[in-house]
Each structure stands twice: as C-alpha cells, then as structure tokens.
Amino acid sequence: MLGSTKLVEDVTVNLLRIAVTSLPDDVLGALRDAEREETSEVGRTQLRTILENVAAADRLSVPICQDTGMLTFFISGRCLPDLEEGIRRGMSRATSEVPLRANAVHPITRKNPGNNSGKGVPTIHYDYSDSDFTQVTVMPKGAGSENMSVLAMLTPSQGLKGIKRLVLDTVIKAGGKPCPPTIVGVGIGGSADQAMLLAKQALLRPLNIGNPDQQLAALESELKQALNLTGIGPMGLGGKTTVLGVRVEEAYTHTASLPVAVCLQCWAARRASARIARDGSVQYSREGFW
Ligand code: SF4
C-alpha cells in the first residue's frame, strides 16, 4: 500500500476529475426527464444545451462549468493518518492537472494563491466510525448557487408554515441567479451552524432516493411541486422546471429556536465519492455509496 498521504492525494485528484467533468446519473436522469417534459420552448432549449454541454465535457474530459467551485469534503468511516494533508496536496495538484479554476481568495484582500488552498479551505467535515474503509466525498459548488444560501432563525411558532414560506421566498428571490433547475437543500433544526451543514449534506442524497422519514418525504414532494409552479424555469428564462428536487434533513433543536437553512445547488450538481479499503484498494462512485 502507498503511504496514506500519497494515496489520499491521488484519490483526491481522481475524485476531483470525476466530479467536475461529469454529472452523477441521478442528476443526469432528472435533467433528461425535465427536457422531455418541459412545456416552454425556451426552457426546453436551455435544458437541451445543458445536456449537450455535459455530454461534451464527459467526452473531452473537461469541466462541465468554468466555475469548478469551492470544495467541500465529507469524510466518514475509518480514520486515516494525514488525510487532510493528502487532500490539500491533491487539491493543489488537481488545480493544475484537471484543471480547476483557482477560486479560493483571501476574503478581504482578495489575494489569490492560485492553487485553491488557503486558511480554512477546503472545508472538511469528519464523521469517523469503526469501519473497514475510509469514505471521501467531494462536492464542488459554484458561487452562483452558493451565494443564494439563506439561514433564518425562525421562531418556533412559525413552524412548518414558516419553513415552507422561507424555502419558497428563497427560490423566488434567487430567480435565475443560481443557474436553475436547482436542487434545494433544506436543513431544519440543530444550531445555526448545524442547520446550514444539514442543508448542504441534504444535497448529497441522490434524486432517486427518497427521504426515509415520511413526513420529510411529503414536505420534499410538496415543496418541489410548489417551486415548479413559480415559472422561473431553466436558467431563469421561464418554464415549469425550476427545481429538480428538494432534499430535507432535520435535527433536534433548542426549545426556543427554529433554525432553517436553505442551500441551493445549481444544475451542475457535482459530487463524487471514493472508498479506500485497508489494503489501499479504491472504489469510486459519482453517485456516492447508498
Ligand atoms: S451556479 Fe453552477 S452552473 Fe452556474 S456558473 Fe456557477 S457552477 Fe456553473
């Protein structure tokens, strides 16, 4: 087995190449369904162009969008030593090899180190457990959709009605800016930071896998239906496909709080996962392991 830092570096480069040059099958399937069912001619043309663009990127192994995003990593399973160092090296290498756009800048001076690294980046979330493998998932997310994220500290009395209103208001206000059709991640409960993490984690669940919680599944389906009645449509140019799906996650919260986060994901809903076994063998998946 390679040294674990070098192994993670190589896995990170491979994962990023997979993630930015292709779309997971569930997203691709939803875009194809939408193109078939869209009733607006302009909307259908937008979806057709998106699909042609994705096919060309896959064929040429180039990024499907010029904004290869900021990178969030989700780590689960077995703890690997020096994992973070391996990810940082891989991310820097991928920036020149894939290539990725150098998006990471200092928040105030806007100085760009040119390799997507810097203080606090990439974002890495850990959820270790006793397992035979380490799972690394990456979500590259463009600024157009990330900039539309919203966190609201609702009052408990606003309840489900307030949650639905916030999701609708967020999508309507965003209009075409997040490059619709979007996938809408909603995080309900926890603390303020946890709600936003839940909203982002919700985006990892493939569109063809329903919410195991019946109440949340019903909420997802109701919100999707309502959002697709807004008429915003593909790229905001009108149509009945404003969202490809709504994904909701929840956590218990303080009795006096109701944090709700909404995180919009553009049509370029990129993600990829790898499982690194104890013997160093690696399995990759664009959809994740579900
Ligand atoms: S929001 Fe998404 S599709 Fe639009 S420019 Fe950014 S990464 Fe590309």
Binding site membership of 266 for ligand 1 (Cβ less than 6 Å): yes
Distance from the alpha carbon of residue 63 to the mean position of ligand 1, in angstroms: 11
Of ligand 1's listed atoms, the one at least distance from the Cα of 66 is 8
Q: Tokens for 208?
A: 């063809």
- Whether 82 shows a pLDDT value over 70: the answer reads yes
Binding site membership of 178 for ligand 1 (Cβ less than 6 Å): yes
**pLDDT average, residue stretch 161-188:** 98
Q: Among the CATH numbers 1.20.120, 3.30.310, 3.30.450, 3.30.1330, which is that of 4-22+64-142+269-285?
A: 3.30.1330
Nearest residue by C-alpha to atom 7 in ligand 1: 142
pLDDT confidence of residue 206: 97
Binding site membership of 68 for ligand 1 (Cβ less than 6 Å): no
The percent of residues above 70 in pLDDT, for the chain, comes to: 99
The β-bridge partners of 141 are 70
Q: Sheet of 70-77: strands edge to edge?
A: 123-128, 70-77, 133-141, 272-277, 282-285
pTM of the model: 0.96
The percent of residues above 90 in pLDDT, for the chain, comes to: 98
Query: Which is it for the CA torsion 179, 183, 189, 190, positive or negative?
Result: negative
Distance from the alpha carbon of residue 179 to the mean position of ligand 1, in angstroms: 6
pLDDT confidence of residue 285: 97
Q: Tokens for 200?
A: 């982002």
Q: How far apart are CA 102 and CA 211, in angstroms?
A: 35
Binding site membership of 180 for ligand 1 (Cβ less than 6 Å): no
- Whether 128 shows a pLDDT value over 70: the answer reads yes
Nearest residue by C-alpha to atom 1 in ligand 1: 144
Binding site membership of 65 for ligand 1 (Cβ less than 6 Å): yes
Predicted confidence band of residue 76 (pLDDT cuts 50, 70, 90): very high
For CATH 3.30.1330, the residue range(s) in the chain are: 4-22+64-142+269-285
Binding site membership of 63 for ligand 1 (Cβ less than 6 Å): no
**pLDDT average, residue stretch 153-172:** 98
Instruction: Give me the chain's average pLDDT, please.
Output: 97
Asked if the bond preceding 181 is cis, omega within 30° of 0, the reply is: yes
Distance from the alpha carbon of residue 8 to the mean position of ligand 1, in angstroms: 27
- Whether 1 shows a pLDDT value over 90: the answer reads no
The β-bridge partners of 110 are none
Nearest residue by C-alpha to atom 4 in ligand 1: 179
**pLDDT average, residue stretch 188-212:** 98
- Whether 3 shows a pLDDT value over 80: the answer reads no
Q: How far apart are CA 97 and CA 235, in angstroms?
A: 30
Q: Which of 100, 103, 145, 183 to mutate to test the pocket of ligand 1 (most atoms within 8 A of CB)?
A: 145
**pLDDT average, residue stretch 27-40:** 98
pLDDT confidence of residue 220: 98
Q: How far apart are CA 90 and CA 84, in angstroms?
A: 10
- Cβ neighbors of 88 (< 8 A, separation 6 or more) are 117, 122
- Whether 198 shows a pLDDT value over 90: the answer reads yes
**pLDDT average, residue stretch 104-125:** 96
Of ligand 1's listed atoms, the one at least distance from the Cα of 64 is 8
SS (H, E, C) the chain: CCCHHHHHHHHHHHHHHHHHHCCCHHHHHHHHHHHHHCCCHHHHHHHHHHHHHHHHHHHHCCCCCCCCCEEEEEEEECCCCCHHHHHHHHHHHHHHHCCCCCCCCCCCCCCCCCCCCECCECEEEEEECCCCEEEEEEEEECHHHHCCCEEEEECHHHHHHHHHHHHHHHHHHHCCCCCCCEEEEEEEECCHHHHHHHHHHHCCCCCCCCCCCHHHHHHHHHHHHHHCCCCCCHHHCCCCCCEEEEEEEEECCCCCCEEEEEEEECCCCCCEEEEEECCCCEEEECCCCC
Q: Sheet of 150-154: strands edge to edge?
A: 150-154, 258-265, 182-189, 243-251
**pLDDT average, residue stretch 238-257:** 98
Predicted confidence band of residue 2 (pLDDT cuts 50, 70, 90): low
Predicted confidence band of residue 230 (pLDDT cuts 50, 70, 90): very high
- Cβ neighbors of 3 (< 8 A, separation 6 or more) are none
Q: Which of 141, 179, 182 to mutate to test the pocket of ligand 1 (most atoms within 8 A of CB)?
A: 179
Binding site membership of 182 for ligand 1 (Cβ less than 6 Å): no
Residue 109 to residues 13, 106, 114, 144: CA-CA distances in angstroms? 28, 6, 14, 21
Of ligand 1's listed atoms, the one at least distance from the Cα of 67 is 7
**pLDDT average, residue stretch 111-129:** 95
